Amino acid sequence: MKAYHGLVSVVLLTLVAAQDPAQFVNPFIGTQNGGHVFPGATLPWGSVKPGADSRSGDNQAGFVSDGTPITGISQLHDDGTGGSSSLGQFALLPLTHTECANNDLTRCTVDHSERALGHGDPVASPGYFSIPLNNGVQAEVTVTEHTALHRFTYKAGTDQLLLLLDVTSDLAYRYQGDGKVTVSPNSKTHGTRITGTGRWIPSFGQNTYQAYFCFDAPRTFAHAKYYETSAGKQTYTDLEQSAEFEKDVQRSAPAGVLLAFAPEKDGRTLEVRMGVSWTSAEKACAYAEEEIPDISAFDGVHAAARAKWNQVLGAIEVDATGVSDDTQQLFWTSLYRTEPYWDSFYCIWDTFRVVHPLYAITAPTAQAQIIRALIDIYAHTGWLPDCRMSLDKGFTQGGSNADSLLADSFVKGLKEGFGIDWEKGFEAMVKDATVMGDFEVEGRGSVNSRAKLGFIPANDNDHPPSGGANTRSASRLLEYAYNDFDIALVAQGLGKKPETAHYFNKSNDWFNIWNPDAEHSGFKGFIQPKKADGGWFFDSRYDHGDVFRPDHCSPVFGHNDCYGGWGGGEFYEASSWEYSFYVPHDMASLVVAMGGPDTFSSRLDHFFEAGFHDMGDEPGFLPTYLYNYVGQPAKTVDRVDAMVAMYYNTSVNGLPGNDDSGSMGAYAVWSHLGFYPVAGQDTYLLNRPYFPKVTFRNEVTGSVAIIIASGLSAENKYIQSATLNGEKYTKNWISHDLFTYGGTLELVMGSSKDSKWGTGEGDLPPSLSTGGFGCLACVSPLKGGGAGSSGTSGAESGGAVSGGGGVENAPNKGWQRGCG
Ligand SMILES: *[C@@H]1O[C@H](CO)[C@@H](O)[C@H](O)[C@H]1NC(C)=O
Ligand SMILES: *[C@@H]1O[C@H](CO)[C@@H](O)[C@H](O)[C@H]1NC(C)=O
């Protein structure tokens, strides 16, 4: 792979004024049915994410389209997460004399769960969220990077504009104390400033975090009260406009402020500014003053936010001739949801596959900053994270997939000029592979047992230092093997020959838990956990009579058995049926192990048709494209089309699972673009575009990549032939060169599934054992190339072992549900 050749200057984006992709963004897609999508206002990668919070069991991201009442408009959220509800601090709730009789501030209901108000239909678009509350107040909000600007419009004739500011509640009721509230006059705004902070437990991580806000109302209040709640009862302190007030807030006394403003001129509107920071209240105030000096400039701030979104979304341009509005809405909304997140890695296990590879094309500068942040986290904490949110360590899901995230950008040329210390990055990856950290939250587990055995035994004694669950032995080994392949790719690029050979070799370890004799549903050969003595492991809870059940954890059998924590079993959030397809660096060997191309292809068909595939979780993405590895790209087209049609739509329930920081959306984006990243390597598998023409502008090199699908129609959706920069192109995959250097890939579409395009041996995507990735010395583990013995047969290995991993012994880690 060639590098950027020192092309370091950031080329200004050529804005295409005519395109307004923001018009196609519908932030409510996925706000029901477990999508957990955040529909509030945010900038791309912005820190502040204000939106309404529903009093709903499904409010991981705040608002849910299920009609449940609203507890407030809070300032911080995550998108699409599993686990418990995330963030939700510093809620504002506009009140009237209906909720506070006689406008008496001591008579409003302040309790987070009891104060909720019914509402009408909300409206949202990039950078804007609005909801009519049943007390007659319209709540609107728009944003800059760290500052939310709220506008509340009360009913005509309202005599007092009341507002509640909740300092200590979050969505999951995890306030831990160390709160503080200050109220003071602000001479700059001729109004009232309130600052505050608190400490909370993160939704999928360890320890606690502190967050800060800075509230400004540019007018003096008529009256106001500070409230604290103790044993269900409120105590109130009168506040005076000209006096300073300061109060520490204990864990036992959650608190907030109630404000009453007299109506001014036009009477009904109240605009307030809310800065946030993860470091201090001073910082929150500085952000707020710098980003929104004029609190009355709501419409201007909103217009700027939308323009920023159009600029970022404009990295991709589509010709939508003949494409329905619905398809455009699905595409742009999905792209929109992949861009707002970056201060939460929630979690890399979900996002490394589809979100970060997208940034490598649409936003390489942001992606380089993300990598620098990850390497900094390694420098400060000792290991790379899988999950990290609100400055806390989050729970690891499977492999050390930060390795694959880093390698993906490395092989795509994010090197010279991006300020990334790749030697340090490589050091971090090697540490993952060689030094066991607290696998619960960083690096890898079972490093020592794997070094000894070549696999991770079920019920491994090599526990994380924190005493966390050392389960998922089979899926982790597959992921670690692929992570090792990625370490090799970076070693290779840095000219480190011994490390390259070592880690390419380690990537064969998947074969050490390949049981060629395991049989299920008409197919033979599965990934199966092993015991430390080399015998096959049977889980007494599911594998009755020592019949291994590779469909366990799939939608048809024990779907919810396989999350993190004790009792989660040996596969994480997917079945052996699905994980047995996960050898992205050496699919050629896997095809042989499964019995050759025809069996592989019919096995894939069966996998989907028998219900073993799970589109609602990220390991289910790549299998939909795997027909390309046996030269059947037309079947990939059919499979991907079926997935998009079956699992995605533009309604509030239009996602197959948790969005996971835009991951579900990113699958839809790639599918519509016509190619899909094998994350962690420079391979994109081709399906077919949903648009006749797609254009990508590289913000760094200025290069323009164009994919044309000529003759595309509902029937003409199979590639018949192709040219790349005018030359005949028969491979069913492309590399990142198209996006680094620019160029044109022209696909000639037709209705025939029998075209020879992409079907030849030389057209297949790269595999290590067939000389791919520049590894001429690599041999298939099937030929004894490094991997250990294929283990003893199931019959020999005896009864199931349950060891210390039983559910009944599980310490309650509070995260039995997975993140992804
Ligand atoms: C939209 O997709 C969801 C999730 O896959 C599905 O449950 C729902 O039935 C679909 N709705 C429509 C109208 O197709
Ligand atoms: C590859 O790994 C196997 C098994 O661990 C080992 O026996 C072999 O020497 C290794 N080969 C290289 C080139 O590192």
Question: Strand 147-153 vs strand 138-143: parallel, antiparallel, or unpaired?
Answer: antiparallel
Return the ligand number nearest the Cα of 654.
Answer: 1
The rounded distance, in Å, linking the Cα atoms of 799 and 70 is: 53
Q: Which two tokens stand for residue 619?
A: 């390991």
Say which residues have a Cβ less than 8 Å from residue 324's Cβ, sequence separation at least 6. none
For the domain covering 4-311, report its CATH number.
Answer: 2.70.98.10
160-170 in b/e burial notation, b at 16+ Cβ within 10 A? bbbbbbbbbbb
Protein residue closest via CA to atom 10 of ligand 2:
786
- State whether the beta carbon of 653 lies less than 6 angstroms from ligand 1: yes
In this prediction, residue 789 carries a pLDDT of 31
Confirm if 213 and 196 have CB atoms less than 8 A apart.
yes
Q: Which two tokens stand for residue 72?
A: 């407030």
Say which residues have a Cβ less than 8 Å from residue 668's Cβ, sequence separation at least 6. 330, 331, 334, 644, 648
- Ordered DSSP codes for 739-769: HHH-EEEEEEEES-S---TT-SGGGSPP-GG
CA distances for 636 relative to 413, 490, 538, 670, angstroms: 28, 30, 34, 13
**Ligand 2 atom with minimal separation from the 777 CA:** 13
Confirm if 97 and 154 have CB atoms less than 8 A apart.
no
Q: Which residue has the tokens 């599918």?
A: 671
Helix (H) or strand (E) holding 142: strand 138-143
Q: What is the mean pLDDT of the chain?
A: 92
For CA atoms 292, 294, 296, 298, the dihedral sign is negative
- State whether the beta carbon of 508 lies less than 6 angstroms from ligand 2: no
Confirm if 39 and 141 have CB atoms less than 8 A apart.
no
- State whether the beta carbon of 786 lies less than 6 angstroms from ligand 2: yes
Is there a cis peptide before residue 775, judged by omega within 30 degrees of 0?
A: no
Residues of the chain below pLDDT 70: 1-18, 265-266, 340-343, 784-820
Confirm if 52 and 118 have CB atoms less than 8 A apart.
no
Say which residues have a Cβ less than 8 Å from residue 86's Cβ, sequence separation at least 6. 60, 61, 77, 78, 171, 172, 202, 203, 204, 344, 346, 389
The rounded distance, in Å, linking the Cα atoms of 91 and 75 is: 7
604 closest CA partner among 685, 548, 689, 523: 523
The rounded distance, in Å, linking the Cα atoms of 89 and 213 is: 9
Residue 616 identity: G
Say which residues have a Cβ less than 8 Å from residue 124's Cβ, sequence separation at least 6. 27, 28, 39, 40, 41, 130
List, by residue range, all CATH 3.30.2080.10 domains of the chain. 326-513+528-768
392 closest CA partner among 435, 353, 442: 442
457 closest CA partner among 786, 696, 788: 788
* Structural Rg of the chain based on CA atoms: 27
In this prediction, residue 784 carries a pLDDT of 67
**328 Cα: distance to centroid of ligand 1 (angstroms):** 17
**Ligand 2 atom with minimal separation from the 502 CA:** 14
Protein residue closest via CA to atom 12 of ligand 1:
649
**648 Cα: distance to centroid of ligand 1 (angstroms):** 7
In this prediction, residue 461 carries a pLDDT of 79
Class of domain 326-513+528-768: alpha beta
What is the 3 state secondary structure string of 88-132?
CCCCEEEECCCCCHHHCHHHCCCCCCCCCECECCCEEECCEEEEE
Confirm if 97 and 72 have CB atoms less than 8 A apart.
no
Return the ligand number nearest the Cα of 505.
Answer: 2
List, by residue range, all CATH 2.70.98.10 domains of the chain. 4-311
540 closest CA partner among 613, 655, 459, 433: 459
In this prediction, residue 798 carries a pLDDT of 28
> Mutation test of ligand 1: which of 326, 327, 651, 664 has the most ligand atoms closer than 8 Å to its C-beta?
651
Confirm if 75 and 90 have CB atoms less than 8 A apart.
yes
Is there a cis peptide before residue 285, judged by omega within 30 degrees of 0?
A: no
- State whether the beta carbon of 502 lies less than 6 angstroms from ligand 2: yes
CA atoms within 13 A on the CB side of 114: 6
Confirm if 162 and 96 have CB atoms less than 8 A apart.
yes
In this prediction, residue 545 carries a pLDDT of 85
- Ordered DSSP codes for 625-637: GGGGGGT-HHHHH
**Ligand 1 atom with minimal separation from the 649 CA:** 1
**505 Cα: distance to centroid of ligand 2 (angstroms):** 6
Q: Which two tokens stand for residue 291?
A: 């980003």
> CA-based angle 291:293:298, to the nearest 5?
85
SS3 call for 647: helix
Q: Is 293 exposed, middle or buried (0-12, 13-18, 19+ CB in 10 A)?
A: exposed
Protein residue closest via CA to atom 11 of ligand 2:
786
Length of the chain: 820
Return the ligand number nearest the Cα of 29.
Answer: 1
- State whether the beta carbon of 649 lies less than 6 angstroms from ligand 1: yes
> Mutation test of ligand 2: which of 504, 505, 586 has the most ligand atoms closer than 8 Å to its C-beta?
505
Protein residue closest via CA to atom 13 of ligand 1:
651
Helix (H) or strand (E) holding 299: helix 298-313
The rounded distance, in Å, linking the Cα atoms of 438 and 812 is: 18
- Helices 422-434 & 364-381 angle (0-180, nearest 10): 50
**29 Cα: distance to centroid of ligand 1 (angstroms):** 11
The tens digit of pLDDT for each residue in 279-289 reads: 999 999 999 99
The rounded distance, in Å, linking the Cα atoms of 817 and 811 is: 14
The rounded distance, in Å, linking the Cα atoms of 17 and 253 is: 52
In this prediction, residue 576 carries a pLDDT of 98
pTM above 0.85, yes or no: yes
- Ordered DSSP codes for 351-400: HTTTHHHHHHHH-HHHHHHHHHHHHHHHHHHSS--SEEETTEEE---SS-
Residue 472 identity: R
Question: Strand 233-239 vs strand 269-277: parallel, antiparallel, or unpaired?
Answer: unpaired
C-beta atoms surrounding 3 within 10 Å: 13
